[in-house]
Structure 1
Amino acid sequence: MDRPLTEPPEPGRTARFRTGFGQRVLLTVDTEEEFDWSGPFTRDRHGLTHVPAIARFQEFCEGLGVSPVYLVDWPIATNALAVEIIGDAVRARRAEVGIQLHPWVNPPFDEEISVRNSFAGNLPPELERAKFMALRDRIEQAFEVQPLIYRAGRYGLGPQTAGLLRDAGVAIDTSVRANYDYSAQGGPDYRNHPLEPYWVDSARTLLELPLTTVYFGLLRRQGRLIQRVAAHMPHLPGILSRLGLVERIALTPEGVTASEAIKGIDMALDDGLPILVLSFHSPSLAPGNTDYVRDARDLDRLYDWLRRVYDYLDLRAVASTTVAEIMDNVER
């Protein structure tokens, strides 16, 4: 029996890509409603005021020659303006659309709202499936394409999620946030998951594409061990980072500087990672919705981060890729 997505893969499941594919980068956007990340989860206390800003971002990506993947959740998939902006780009083959499940705002609303239930994989399997299928069908109807990639909101995979994705015809999951642990909140622990893409099932029908987070510094090879020790010594990571010994770097403009990201890119490429996965949340495209973009200067920094990172990727001969291209080049 195949292991669930919440566990590291079985040996020998690392995905290989055709000769000439090289090292690539995929830009993913958690395209979602605005809400208070520090407050309680609610069904209705959220906004979509940033949606018009997606148009500017899409134009920016096209200027870079990048085709972003919009991982949309229920409020986005049911918003006419979001569907128009993203749908136009998808039809022009300048973007792709995928699925992101935020269970607390996604019907059917049969569960109690709680931190634990904000991880969709913690829901009863039939309810996780019902919410997922409602969203999948809505996306297919709104955008007139079959979504082939999934990210669980809050990275909340569960023991039954892999089977659900296979049944729904989803080819790629990108929910695993390697080197992160959400178990204190009732979520998954991804500290032992690999960064390399891997096959979830022995039939090679579902590919896992983890988000890229690496360790940098003299002790980077001991990063995962240090992370475990830090569970009992919470100040340790900050001390080691200031000493230049080890720091964890996620490839995101949210809370990570461009200089830090470039160091992370070097580590990932030098380790031979075939696909780098960048990510951020769409509410950051307008000031005031997240702690990462509080004003216009922060927004300028986000766009500057993307420019600098893609300039560096170009320097390192790392081309942008798409879900379709990944599926065309992965060896089965």
Structure 2
Amino acid sequence: MLTLPKPSQAATFAPGFAPASLLTVDTEEGFDWTGPFTRDQHDLTHLSGIPAFQALCEELGVSPVYLVDWPIVQSSLAKEIIGDAVRRGTAEVGVQLHPWVNPPFDEEVNIRNSFAGNLPPELERAKFTALRDAIEAAFATPPIIYRAGRYGLGPATRALLQDTGVTIDSSVRALYDYSPGHGRDYSAFPNSPYWVDDDRTLLELPLTTVYTGALARHGHSLFPKLERVPHGAGIAARTGLLERIGLTPEGTPLPDAIRAVDAALSQGLPLLVLSFHSPSLEPGNTPYVHTQADLEALFEWLRGVYAHMATRNVTPTTVAGVWAAAQRG
């Protein structure tokens, strides 16, 4: 899973499926993003914000996939709120592993071990299996999609997903490099879906990020160099030469997101994968939502992006829909 895919591994989809969009929510505990990782310094107060978000999704005709981690699946309120949407067929659930809050607790809590793929394979598997089984028990449905917390894939992740019935991964954040902080380097990975294996049993859905600007076609080679120059990436973006834009309401203004949608479609991406973190549904939890006005802006971002995608004939889909279309592609 950590190897660049060959062109032959690119996924194709059933006629009429593309272009489509998938909304993923990293559904997790609230914690201090500026502090050290801890086992117990977190809360779930933002869960009260999920019903309004879910109602907006249903208004937009969008079925979000809640990528649930251990503190969430242990919450009776989360099981009630998310479970109701799952039972009504207006949402799906998947797995998101934050190893520092997920038993068994056999590792030291530190930055390196915050990436599940850096753990000993047997410990990564034990944590993942405990979480996956808890999710199936809580929501009465086997999860088929995974996202490693902090995008922390490892050399043993592929086998454990295949062994536990997970057929889709969405841990690759294309065009980003987390290796300076003990994570993975995805800077050269494609942002289009691809098969991880030749048997077509594991499908990768990278989070959608694109390069825009006059030098966009040189982004893979040029942007990593700009990041190593003080203010290099910012200057390139402000001058319209080169900008990296992710499809997320967290840090991406609506006009930029619309440009990213158009760029992705011009590149022929069949699936746009949007994402954000559930604690952003309550002011004060993340760097992106400090006030009620910020939260309202997040909702307006979603309305604006989906309105624009509708004009471009991008249809919201589901994890089940993606898998079915990929099987027929």
TM-score using structure 1 length: 0.98
Separation in 2 of the partners of 1:92 and 1:232? 48
Displacement of 1:230 in angstroms is 2.3
**For structure 1, which runs of at least 5 residues remain unmatched after alignment?**
none
Separation in 2 of the partners of 1:22 and 1:204? 19
Separation in 1 of the partners of 2:238 and 2:271? 29
**For structure 2, which runs of at least 5 residues remain unmatched after alignment?**
none
Letter in 2 for 1:77: V
Displacement of 1:327 in angstroms is 1.0
1:154 maps to which residue?
Answer: 150
Equivalent residue for 2:171, pick from 172, 175, 181: 175
Separation in 2 of the partners of 1:157 and 1:301? 32
Separation in 2 of the partners of 1:232 and 1:44? 35
2:84 maps to which residue?
Answer: 88
Displacement of 1:28 in angstroms is 0.3
1:122 maps to which residue?
Answer: 118
8 Å contact 2:223–2:242 — kept in the other structure? no
Equivalent residue for 2:203, pick from 203, 207, 213: 207
1:235 and 2:231 matched: yes
Separation in 2 of the partners of 1:220 and 1:94? 37
1:306 maps to which residue?
Answer: 302
Separation in 1 of the partners of 2:74 and 2:159? 26
1:7 maps to which residue?
Answer: 3
Equivalent residue for 1:18, pick from 14, 18, 32: 14
SS of match in other structure, 1:36? coil
1:264 and 2:271 matched: no
Displacement of 1:222 in angstroms is 1.0
1:322 maps to which residue?
Answer: 318
Using the aligned pairs only, state the percent identity.
62
Separation in 2 of the partners of 1:234 and 1:169? 45
RMSD: 0.8
Displacement of 1:227 in angstroms is 2.0
Letter in 1 for 2:313: A
Displacement of 1:223 in angstroms is 1.1
Separation in 2 of the partners of 1:229 and 1:190? 15
Separation in 2 of the partners of 1:12 and 1:323? 23
The C-alpha deviation readout for 1:279-330, integer Å capped at 9, x for no partner, is: 0000000111111100010001000000000000001110100011111111
Separation in 2 of the partners of 1:200 and 1:83? 31
Separation in 2 of the partners of 1:140 and 1:232? 43
Q: Which moved more, 1:322-331 or 1:167-176?
A: 322-331
TM-score using structure 2 length: 0.98
SS of match in other structure, 1:164? helix
Separation in 1 of the partners of 2:46 and 2:324? 34
2:162 maps to which residue?
Answer: 166
Ranges of 4+ aligned residues in structure 1 off by more than 6 Å: none
SS of match in other structure, 1:51? helix
2:279 maps to which residue?
Answer: 283
SS of match in other structure, 2:45? coil
Displacement of 1:231 in angstroms is 4.3
Separation in 2 of the partners of 1:250 and 1:6? 21
Separation in 2 of the partners of 1:207 and 1:65? 25
Displacement of 1:228 in angstroms is 2.4
1:292 maps to which residue?
Answer: 288
Separation in 1 of the partners of 2:94 and 2:224? 33
Displacement of 1:87 in angstroms is 0.4
The C-alpha deviation readout for 1:35-89, integer Å capped at 9, x for no partner, is: 0111100000001000011111111100111000000000000000001000010
Pairs aligned (count)? 328
Separation in 2 of the partners of 1:199 and 1:96? 22
